[in-house]
Structure 1
């Protein structure tokens, strides 16, 4: 029996305003082909299918087209909701999808047994039990009480998560005992385990507002033969265990993940013993972060001039370059290089140096920072109101675009 574990697709995610539908489509096509070529029996998707709770029409089309394609080659598909997903949105077509052996668990219910799936092979013989635990929201696992402090809240959250896994695993054990056959038990989850690795700019959110809760590997019952986790984007083991893993995101969510190898987990069971292999995901769009002096940046752009790549440029030098953007545009002219973000650390430092000792950057809004930039560049006072007005209109337009769905 072969099982493929993936998570954190974040379909619909943009990168500094650039839509990435071609990448998502390429990944899902590759994944469907891999499932067919590897003769995968069960696909596990451990949450964050979409990047927002209101995915665009294009995002939905990619998702459902993939499910239709993979249903013909994979015997079972299990999809759980992550913290980015809308439970009700994922759950809406689940009765229809079940006819294709696609099992969707968007949220917890009053009956723990709803999360325990007994899966049969193509001959109708039970072969696997999946404890399909979705992202556990605060209200699912904790009762708020007046006067509780952060420590009380974190203790209740951890106890609630532990209790939930104990309950579903007890049901899984009962099912296994009734069968009289020791078939494997897999559990899913979408959470942050202690010691989990993240990278700068990966968009991993704090799961519980006001709490830095990271659960320990010890909360998961011993009956679990493989733990398929989502939420962290770096592929990694939990507590150095081969059978407790984050598959990681299939695409780099930000430039901090640009050099990261992305993969899915292929699990094979021989009896109750699991062996895990990583299948590397191709790079569908090259990303690179270039940082340094102008000489270092321009030299690296020259090296990349024959490639199709998206760049984040971080300028770091004592010398102030006021026309950095113009220089960069000239450097990439005639190439397939696109610069999605420019960060001029020298300008930022000079702006921050204008903040008095009692101020922090958090005390300033975006308009304040723009005003400081105008002063830094000695823009005449009479020109500033019109520039500030145009800037505010631009920010408003960007915010409106971000709130729309297609």
Structure 2
């Protein structure tokens, strides 16, 4: 069996107001071509298909056009699980229809463990691989709240609940394997944050759970898993150093914090021995660059980039000593007539910040939700002893907000 492991597409995501539909369409066309050329037999997508719970019509069109192409390719099965950015009900709505195309969608926790276990077959309709398609597990799905419990109790119950769910699903997969009487490989999927997972500033990874203990240890996953295909972290990486437990990472650069980083999907080949995992580089469909320095350095770098004659999105960070009150105007003058586009310009000159010059250009869009709350605490001179408790309460409110639409559904 030869399959692709990918995740975190975030179709519909924009960057500082700039739509990225062309990039997503280009990536999915490339992926469909690769699957066809290499005769890949299955595709596993571990969550965050869309960037939000109500994707635009264009985002949906790109998604379904891709699925139509895959259905007509050598790929026999597609397994899609929901991530924390996805709406479980929205993703699952066409599930019964997609099943006729061998596209299996698991949007939420199943009523029984068997709802998340799939048996994939080869061209002769013989069972070839078992997939434990575990979606993003929401706090309310796996932990029962009790009055008076501490934050430590909540975190402990959450981790225990996730571990117990994987044990139940894997037990069902092993039962099916025994019933079939064949040593079928078991592949497990998930969308979560493992302990020791690596992120980058500006890579768009959202905290999943309240607290720091809710990072899942590698030992939590049952040993029966032959390959673990995870999503949520946007940097490709191993889990606990194991070759067969991995995050594929996002296929596109999510923000300027990742500018210049290579992206990939994993090609996994299962045989009689250990899985053979190969990182397949994803082409760069839109160049992102960060240009930082004083005005001489910035202007010189921009002149060089203009000579490349290609579309480049830019983040400019001015940190020179000279006070520049018209940074944006100067930048636009340099890049006029070129394929360069400045999506964000930051003037870090301390005097500018103190004097609140208009050219400082810091807006709510430049800050994440935690930075906004921290500014609020600072403005009200909240005592340090109260900050941790307030942040905990604030994060609980955020989780309720993020997941509120699923409750309504």
TM range, normalised to the smaller chain? 0.7 to 0.9
Partner of 1:344: 347
Looking at structure 1, the residues matched to 18 and 353 of structure 2 have their Cα atoms a distance apart, in angstroms, of 29
Looking at structure 1, the residues matched to 102 and 355 of structure 2 have their Cα atoms a distance apart, in angstroms, of 56
Deviation per residue, 1:242-284 (Å, 9 max, x gap): 1111111011110111111100000001125210001100000
Looking at structure 1, the residues matched to 356 and 213 of structure 2 have their Cα atoms a distance apart, in angstroms, of 31
Looking at structure 2, the residues matched to 126 and 76 of structure 1 have their Cα atoms a distance apart, in angstroms, of 12
3-state DSSP of counterpart to 1:143: coil
CA shift for structure 1 position 347: 5.1
CA shift for structure 1 position 329: 0.6
3-state DSSP of counterpart to 2:349: helix
Looking at structure 1, the residues matched to 49 and 282 of structure 2 have their Cα atoms a distance apart, in angstroms, of 17
Partner of 1:117: 118
Contact 2:170/2:224, CA 8 A, preserved across alignment? yes
Looking at structure 2, the residues matched to 78 and 350 of structure 1 have their Cα atoms a distance apart, in angstroms, of 49
CA shift for structure 1 position 318: 2.3
Contact 2:156/2:213, CA 8 A, preserved across alignment? no
CA shift for structure 1 position 120: 1.0
Contact 1:314/1:344, CA 8 A, preserved across alignment? yes
Partner of 2:130: 129
Alignment of 1:212-291 (within 5 A): 213-291=214-292
CA shift for structure 1 position 108: 0.5
3-state DSSP of counterpart to 1:273: coil
Looking at structure 1, the residues matched to 225 and 351 of structure 2 have their Cα atoms a distance apart, in angstroms, of 50
- 1:330 has 2:344 as partner: no
CA shift for structure 1 position 173: 0.7
- 1:197 has 2:211 as partner: no
Largest Rg, 1 or 2: 1
Partner of 1:381: none
- 1:361 has 2:375 as partner: yes
Alignment of 1:65-104 (within 5 A): 65-73=65-73, 74-104=75-105
Partner of 2:304: 303
Distance 1:347 1:326, change over 3 A: farther
- 1:38 has 2:38 as partner: yes
Deviation per residue, 1:361-406 (Å, 9 max, x gap): 33589xxxxxxxxxxxxxxxxxxxxxxxxxxxxxxxxxxxxxxxxx
CA shift for structure 1 position 351: 2.6
Partner of 2:54: 54
Alignment of 1:135-214 (within 5 A): 135-210=136-211, 213-214=214-215
Distance 1:220 1:320, change over 3 A: same
Deviation per residue, 1:163-192 (Å, 9 max, x gap): 000000001111111112111000000001
Partner of 1:316: 319
Looking at structure 2, the residues matched to 161 and 276 of structure 1 have their Cα atoms a distance apart, in angstroms, of 26
Deviation per residue, 1:139-184 (Å, 9 max, x gap): 1110111111111111011100100000000011111111121110
Looking at structure 2, the residues matched to 361 and 295 of structure 1 have their Cα atoms a distance apart, in angstroms, of 33
- 1:19 has 2:19 as partner: yes
3-state DSSP of counterpart to 1:270: coil
How many residue pairs get aligned? The number is 361
3-state DSSP of counterpart to 1:201: coil
Distance 1:364 1:256, change over 3 A: same
Looking at structure 2, the residues matched to 307 and 8 of structure 1 have their Cα atoms a distance apart, in angstroms, of 27
Give the ranges of 4+ consecutive aligned residues of structure 1 lying more than 6 Å apart after TM superposition: none
Task: Give 5+ residue unaligned stretches, structure 1.
Answer: 366-406
Alignment TM-score, normalising by the size of structure 1: 0.86
Alignment TM-score, normalising by the size of structure 2: 0.86
CA shift for structure 1 position 360: 7.1
Deviation per residue, 1:202-230 (Å, 9 max, x gap): 11111014555211111000000000000
Distance 1:191 1:352, change over 3 A: farther
Deviation per residue, 1:37-59 (Å, 9 max, x gap): 11111100000000000000000
Distance 1:212 1:298, change over 3 A: farther
Distance 1:322 1:128, change over 3 A: same
Distance 1:63 1:360, change over 3 A: closer
Contact 1:186/1:226, CA 8 A, preserved across alignment? yes
